[in-house]
A = this chain, B = another copy of it.
Amino acid sequence: MNLRKLREEVLDANLELVRRGLVLYTFGNASGIDRKNRVVVIKPSGVPYETMKAWHLVITDLEGNVLEGNLRPSSDLATHLVLYKAFPTIGGVAHTHSTAATSWAQARRPIPCFGTTHADYFRGSVPVTKPLTKTQIHSDYELNTGKSIVKSFAGLDPLHYPGVLVAGHAPFCWGVTPADAVHNAVVLEAIARMASETLRANPNARPIDAHLHRKHFLRKHGDSAYYGQREIK
């Protein structure tokens, strides 16, 4: 089983979180999945990004058993695994405590779609999970965090909503690759910041019209998308 490429992708995804200013110290983590071999590559827990190498990454099976690596995996591993199992189309997950998105998670409010930047990426508001119960917190906290995310996605295509705000915590994002998951985390941060600034300029700001939302989303997604270069993708 050759995981060298996935290791490199996951390492780069984690380092990109730093380059984009989404993480402070060791907060945040990114992972990737090899669906054929049913293994996940994830950042180790609490290791500084500055000195992180591909061989620090931890490889686990879908139950969280460590297959390769001498370090403990990210404490959020169980959340990542729930997402990979529930969302078969995703290939990477990124979790950050980025300032604006985390603030909306702390505010426990879905981010309304105030403009086309948002509509280009999310088919509707950015969802927010329900707070966990006392029991859910005390046993299998990270697993239950994942379950609460999945629950809030009933009926939604996770690639049409590539991220979520975990109430009182922070965002989790995903995509078809680890790089894509990080890309979506970067965009979510921008969307969240602009939503806050929009409310500052107009406390009564309203979401954009459903037709404009749909138009922009479909300009970038699906069969009739016409943004970007097919030939160079």
- Interface on A for B, CB 8 Å cutoff? 24-27, 44-47, 70-72, 75, 97, 99-100, 102-109, 114-117, 131-132, 134, 137-138, 141, 168-170, 183, 186-187, 190, 193-202, 205-206, 208-209, 211-212, 215, 219, 226-232
Contact = CB atoms under 8 A, between A and B. Distances in A.
Contacts of A25: 183, 186-187
B215 A107 contact: no
A198 B106 contact: yes
28 contacts: A24-B187, A24-B190, A25-B187, A26-B228, A44-B229, A45-B227, A45-B228, A45-B229, A46-B229, A99-B197, A100-B197, A102-B194, A103-B200, A104-B198, A104-B201, A107-B199, A107-B205, A115-B169, A116-B170, A117-B170, A131-B209, A131-B212, A137-B212, A137-B215, A141-B215, A196-B197, A196-B201, A199-B200
A104 B114 CA distance: 10
* This protein's copies in its complex: 4
3 tightest Cβ-Cβ pairs between the two chains A and B: A46-B228, A103-B197, A107-B202
B114 A106 contact: yes
A117 to B, nearest CB: 5
A47 B137 CA distance: 44
A227 B202 CA distance: 34
Contact of A196 (B116, B200, B228): B200
A26 to B, nearest CB: 8
Contacts of A116: 168-170
- Which residue among A117, A205, A219 has the maximum number of chain B CB atoms within 10 Å of its CB? A117
A115 B201 CA distance: 16
A192 B198 CA distance: 11
A198 B117 contact: no
A226 B45 CA distance: 9
Contacts of A107: 114, 198-199, 201-202, 205
Contacts of A209: 131, 134, 137, 168
A186 B115 contact: no
Given A47-B229, A72-B226, A108-B206, 5 more contacts: A25-B183, A25-B186, A75-B227, A103-B198, A103-B201
